Amino acid sequence: MIINLTQHPASPEQIAEGVADLTGGQLAALKEALTFGDRPDAEEILARAEVIAELACYNGLGGDDGDSPLVTRAMIGGALWLMAPLATALRARSIEPVFAFSVRDTLEQPQPDGSVRKVAVFRHAGWVPAL
């Protein structure tokens, strides 16, 4: 299982590759840990990385039995200054941190007035390990 540790829901393509979104209280805790109202110091960054890594382990996705399923990889992304400490905290728990890789397709959509609207569509295209 790949646990989604970003603030954005997994795409259908990512879900098809085994990504699971946190729900309920765990999702609320993740969003709180990923949101910084003020500039954090190093201690705060490290503490938040630990909280997020623990959410990957105790993810609440086991259903009624209360047992969290084993996570082998975690999709991460967000504030660049949080990603390296988060990757370290995940590796300490034997979870491989990965970034989603996407390709951008530009579509041209003719409009009723004769103009053309360009739309960028991002499509999931795999994983890049966090080094």
Q: pLDDT per position in the chain (131 positions), as tens?
A: 999 999 999 999 999 999 999 999 999 999 999 999 999 999 999 999 999 999 999 998 886 666 788 899 999 999 999 999 999 999 999 999 999 999 999 999 999 999 999 999 889 999 999 98
Tally of structural domains, the chain: 1
Residue 50 lies in a domain: yes
Residue 47 lies in a domain: yes
What is the C-alpha to C-alpha distance for residues 58 and 35, in angstroms, rounded to an integer? 20
Residues in the chain: 131
Q: Give the Cβ contact number of residue 108 at 10 Å.
A: 8
| Residue 27, pLDDT score | 96
Could you list the residue range(s) of the whole structural domain that residue 68 is in? 2-101
Which amino acid, residue 90? Answer: L
Residue 19 lies in a domain: yes
| Residue 122, pLDDT score | 87
- The upper half-sphere exposure of residue 54, i.e. CA atoms within 13 Å in the direction of its Cβ, equals 8
Residue 125 lies in a domain: no
Residue 70 lies in a domain: yes
Q: 81 by DSSP, 3-state: which?
A: helix
Residue 112 lies in a domain: no
| Residue 63, pLDDT score | 67
Give pTM, 2 decimals.
Answer: 0.86
Bridge partners (DSSP) of residue 102 are 124
Residue 60 lies in a domain: yes
| Residue 121, pLDDT score | 87
Residue 120 lies in a domain: no
